Structure 1
Amino acid sequence: MPVTIKKRLMARMFFTSLTIIALVGFGLAALINLLHEQNAYNEETAELIAEMPSVAAELRESRQLPPAQEWLDSNRLPKRYIMAACGPDFSQIWTSSKASELGLINACHAFDDIRHDSPPYRLTLSDNRHYYAYLLSVELGGKPYSLLVMKDAAKIQQENREFSERTYWRLALVMALAFILLASAGYWGLRPLMTLRNELQAINQGRASELSADYPAELNGVTTAVNQLLGQSAAQQQRVEHAMNDLAHSLKTRLAAVHAITDDKTLSREEANERIMAQIGQMDQLVKYQLKRATMGRKGLKLEATPVLPMLKQMQQMLDKVYRDKQVMLTLAVDDTIHFPGAPEDLMELCGNLMENAYRLCISSVRVSASMSDGQFVLTVEDDGPGIPPPLRNKVLQRGIRADNRTSGQGIGLAVCDEIVGSYLGTLTIEDSLMEGALFRITIPG
């Protein structure tokens, strides 16, 4: 199988940065070398201009100037030049003695081929040597001259090579330093990403729940979004777990009612089937409700007004079958006009959990009342059982905490009730009942 090489951010950064530095560096080095060569050429041109008297003296000696040029005698230098005089069409009309000795009889024609280029002008002449050419347009003795002065390029080229070598060595040092700085910057700059990777691995392994806040400002948006996503995922997972637990808890009572109905010999087959179908309908309603809660949460559920009394009678009918051996006396102090300010599924959960607890723990009597007081909906469920000690009243509203360990249960019902009431911005309190048992009071803004 072919080996797949993973792309690395550090390698990309190094390659791109070093390429940019190399291109800019070599470009600058080439420009510096070119400027140095042009500067040397200009310096040579300036020296030639300063030596014009010596050049003119050589021209007089070659009978190219009139003899009556006394000022030349005092400026004659013991130096011979490689020169040629060029005509208007750059034909070579005169050659200095030194140029003649070297056989440079085609200098003007060679210069004509490159004279439109930018200086410095480099020529390769008939002796196969390289020369720098300088064109001097001067007027001597009232006569215009186009003088082509040439210098051997070997010495200047050697100086330029040495200068270029120094320039490129310096560039190499700069690039080495740049590589070290880039490596340091890359490690330092990418370290937060390595930390991010480690923290995500810790979250995946269950050793952490969110990313820390110690990140550079450029990553704050990313880490905040990841933490929000983790929070939403955790909330979704918790909703699903709670919904499944709540569903199992709610179905348990309905299944017990179905068993009680099937065991009730006083009911005809039609009556038993009708009541079993009613319980199955409630189960189906609970399943749909809990699935909706698991996906949308309580904020996604539609608010409405639900009549209280029919729901209480429905719960009474079910619980009387489940706890028929106790012969519980239920008192409903509820007017027909009282409505619960919420979804019927929530009212079913509240009434089912609170009344089931009262039936299970009472001695013989349970009382349920509902009213509107000062614009608030108030529902109370009380019994004549053992009650709940004050130190346990807040704890039993938490999932998994039970006040009575003598009977079976998961400690979910009261926690579900507290969550439902809290979603409506209401309160659930536990008090002492006048019946000598526990009183559960629900208050919800109407």
Structure 2
Amino acid sequence: MIRSLRIRLMLGAAALAVLFMLALLPALQHAFSIALEDTIEQRLAADVATLVSAARTDGAHLIMPQRLPVEAFNLPEARLLGYIYDQNGRLVWRSTSASDERIDYQPRYDGRGNEFKRARDSAGEEFFVFDVEIKLLQGKEAAYSIVTMQPVSEFHALLQGFREQLYLWLGGALLVLLGLLWTGLTWGFRALRRVRWELDQIEAGTGTRLSDEHPSELLRLTGSLNRLLESEQRQRERYRDSLGDLAHSLKTPLAVLQGVSETLAGQPGNEEPVRVLQGQIERMSQQVDYQLQRASLRKSGLVRHREPLAPLLDTLCDALDKVYRDKRVHVQRELAAGFSLPVERGALLELLGNLLENAYRLCLRQVCITGRYEAGQCELWIEDDGPGVPAHRRADILRRGERLDNQHPGQGIGLAVACDIVESYDGSLSLDDSHLGGARFCLRFAQV
């Protein structure tokens, strides 16, 4: 299926142009054939006039000169033939050019003037015939049919030559027309290219709305897109404000409960209830954080992001090196030149922070980060040399609340947040074995 509108229009216009040319071709050939026959008729009529002007009568006898003014009549091999018949249809004179021709022609002498038609000779060759009835010196005894003939083959040769030239010129005209159509469509689509460029600016985050400098036919479309952009922006702002209000309203009661639990912890006999209470408060706090992160990190439906990876890795690895300074983790990077991911910066920091923190926490000494472009996709691998994840548990740890590491505090929502972020950007997150001996998290996003 052809997805380019310009190519579709071009193919449609080309098809119509070809059909028009095909329809025009027989019409032009027919018109030329009629015009050529008219020309031949006029030429034969002029040759008849030459014979009439050269003819003399002596009583009932016709006298013709030895040489005629039209040289073609005087040449034996010429293709212009001249004949004169009396009123009884007997041949009384023929030109030198007709001396070896055997044409079975019977003139029609009925007083109706002249006639233009076709006749054949004994060999089957066809001729144009122009027959004129004339009364020399107004004498009844001197009435004749003066006939001139020309082979139809010459007419066909001229017609074939015209047809070949017509094919050539119409083919050239069609190519010129297609070129002009392509140029016109290219110029006409400048407006759509400008809309596309402005949309690219909006997707890249360097623009906020479409301009009004577009043809009137597109203003309704651009106006609708601008209203959609403004509505989305207002909705996102309201969403962030609501999330902030929700966070504030929930964090404050949780802080009060935390304070109460600490007060109760100082009283004897409350150790077990306080431990349960504090665990549930901590769990609620983490769940609130998780839901807020999950809601706020959704990408915009119209803005397309592209974030370089190297600067973010510098920031995250510096922070994690300080947290896990006792391990002295060695991080190996293998990134394609200018490698970037189609994820908004805040979401990418949250995503990489969870995955790298997991790798730092579980590795022995080494973490490897690989970024590459493969088959139209951006792939990012984060590997470690830790204990790895059993194959039958890999799907479990990507679900919220599931944890394999019980030696460190937490609620097991970091990887679930990572999965949500990846899914919101139409990507995929998978887990398998690393060549370092531990786990390998593989992120894949479509290139944009």
TM class, shorter-chain normalised? 0.3 to 0.5
Whichever of the two has the greater Rg, that structure is 1
Name the TM-score, length of structure 1 as normaliser: 0.40
